[in-house]
Amino acid sequence: MKFQAITDNFQEANVDALAVAVFKDENTGSGILKDLNELIGGHIASIIKSEEFKGESGDTAYFLFESKGKNKANRLLLVGAGDRADYKTSDVGVVAGTAARNLRKRNVKSFALAPRFDGDSLDVATNAAAGVVASQFELDKYKSSDKNDKKIDTFALYIEGGREKDLKDALTRGEIIGDSMNFARDLANEPPNVLHPTEMAKRAEKMAKEVGLKCEILDEGKMEKLGMGSLLSVTKGSAQPAKFIILRYEPKKSTGKKGELLALVGKGITFDTGGISIKPSEGMDAMKYDMSGGATVIGTMRAIGLLKPTVPVLGIVAAVENMPGSAATRPSDIVTASNGKTVEILNTDAEGRLVLADAVVYAEKQGATRIVDMATLTGAVIIALGDLHTAVLGNDQELVDEIIECGADVGENFWQLPIGKEYSKMIKSDIADIKNIGGGRKAGTIIGAVFIEEFIKDAKWAHLDIAGTAWADDAKPHRSKGPTAIAIRTLLKLVEKSQ
Ligand code: BES
Ligand code: ZN
Ligand code: ZN
């Protein structure tokens, strides 16, 4: 896709279509809406009055008109932007994505958007480009017909009086973010017969080469040497060998505090049958997305490799398939993790925490001082928060607050759940140090988190349970259904702010 910044003469943009953000309760008395209304013969005023288009987020209205004079475009799309007072930079991404999806369906190849945002224009450009790119993701990779072959090839962003060169760079940053989200979504969408741990590792390796990250893959032999008995217990029932993926970004010149290292750690269960504690068959197919935390890490690291922030970041994915083969771990087995703790496995379906245990120990041994782990860890979080908020829990309130703030900046919602001694007591085992489930169904998401906490030594740590937010059951005007690449933008903001 080509990106352009235009800073004057919006109507004369050399594109097929113009798109403009329209707020609730607007009129066409002045400014850009007045000009556009005149351009298309008064139809904007009519449609606003008719109440057919209210300017709510997701609303659209489309017009064909006769272009005159220097104007090239002959289509106009109004895109609802909601209340003007609530309009944030992240909403620009939604507006841009809504326009791009709508216009693509109409076979429009190029469009210019007037986002009508008064704040930081570079942030607007980044959000707009990311929104456009992410909006183009479709689930049709494995269709041999009915494929979406319509493509937007040019996106022009109109910022009155902006500086073209700076805007162009900001658009490129947005393109990187959108592409990296789509890269992660492609991983999460892959069927588990294609994307087993070995393939996930291969894709991470190839990506790392392309964007200049260091990549190391540990095989089961290496993991055994490192004493990762907790992680390895999950792979025992699978014919697919587990892979431990390590991605490193090191800036040429670091501006971060000396000795500080942020690690992103992802659950990469390429398929979760539940193991011997097998899941019911209904809905089991959804468990191909159980590597979404890992996909988020890989997608975020891809963007980091290209955006080149001035702080180092370590990315780790524990890629494992959870199957009930004859060598599978049994409920009541006891294993030893790489920090020496013994774990009584009472439910083999609580496997995400088992792989993350050894992954966070490894991260800290590599020098991580802040660890953020991502995992589709519990069904309980879906009951608690649905698909609207990602749960965040952690041992450092500052880090948790930062994640919530970064999320608000980029339009991703987080909600904190508590942890604490009383919860930790619930995973004490009668015969080992800890067990991998609590008693009964109480506080499922918290129990998952406090289990992982047992493996954190000194690091500041936050855990994101993305089980409810990593997959969208329905499409929205600005994005397809399916994998959402949740948390990539938040983590990139976190990295940006730690520079
Ligand atoms: N991958 C699942 C979590 C999950 C379940 C995500 C349903 C989306 C929908 C995880 O490995 C799991 O099975 N967790 C169990 C934990 C329980 C056995 C303590 C769960 O949530 O039921
Ligand atoms: Zn499970
Ligand atoms: Zn799982």
Q: Which amino acid is at 470?
A: A
Q: What is the pLDDT of residue 64?
A: 97
C-alpha dist (Å) from residue 134 to 235, 357, 415, 474, 478: 33, 32, 24, 16, 8
Q: Which amino acid is at 437?
A: I
Whose CA is closest to 360, among 446, 297, 438, 430?
Answer: 297
Q: In the structure encoding, which two tokens stand for residue 58, read together?
A: 């997701």
| Helix, strand, coil percentages for the chain (3-state, nearest 5) | 40, 20, 40
How remote is the C-alpha of 470 from its chain's centroid?
7
Beta strand extents in 137-273 (DSSP E only):
154-158, 214-218, 243-249, 262-272
Q: Which helix (H) or strand (E) holds 456?
A: none
C-alpha dist (Å) from residue 278 to 82, 195, 281, 328, 359: 45, 21, 9, 11, 24
Q: Which amino acid is at 287?
A: M
Q: What is the pLDDT of residue 439?
A: 86
Total number of residues shown for the chain: 499
Q: Tokens 């991260």 sit at which residue?
A: 363
Q: Compute, in angstroms, the gap from residue 272 CA to the centroid of ligand 2.
A: 6
Radius of gyration from C-alpha coordinates of the chain = 24
* Neighbour order of strands in the sheet with 313-322: 214-218, 243-249, 313-322, 262-272, 370-375, 460-465, 390-394, 414-416
DSSP string of 13-50, one letter each residue: -SSSEEEEEE-TT--SSSHHHHHHHHHTTTHHHHHHHH
Report the nearest atom of ligand 1 relative to the CA of 381.
21
Which residue has a Cα nearest atom 22 of ligand 1? Answer: 379
**Residue 330 falls in the annotated catalytic set:** no
Q: What is the pLDDT of residue 256?
A: 87
Cβ atoms of residues 356 and 290 within 8 Å:
no
Q: How does the average pLDDT of the chain come out, rounded?
A: 97
**Residue 116 falls in the annotated catalytic set:** no
Q: What is the pLDDT of residue 390?
A: 99
Pairing of strands 243-249, 313-322: antiparallel
C-alpha dist (Å) from residue 474 to 4, 94, 469, 471: 31, 16, 12, 9
Q: What is the pTM of this model?
A: 0.98
Whose CA is closest to 327, among 244, 234, 243?
Answer: 234
Q: In the structure encoding, which two tokens stand for residue 221, read together?
A: 């032999």
Report the nearest atom of ligand 1 relative to the CA of 347.
18
Q: What is the pLDDT of residue 238?
A: 99
Average pLDDT by stretches of 10, the chain with 499 residues: 96 97 96 96 95 94 93 97 97 98 98 95 97 98 93 96 92 98 98 98 98 98 98 99 99 92 99 98 98 99 98 99 98 98 98 99 98 99 98 98 98 98 98 96 97 99 99 98 98 97
Q: Which helix (H) or strand (E) holds 374?
A: strand 370-375
* Neighbour order of strands in the sheet with 342-344: 334-336, 342-344, 434-435
Q: Which of 233, 349, 374 to mutate to test the pocket of ligand 1 (most atoms within 8 A of CB)?
A: 349
Which residue has a Cα nearest atom 7 of ligand 1? Answer: 379
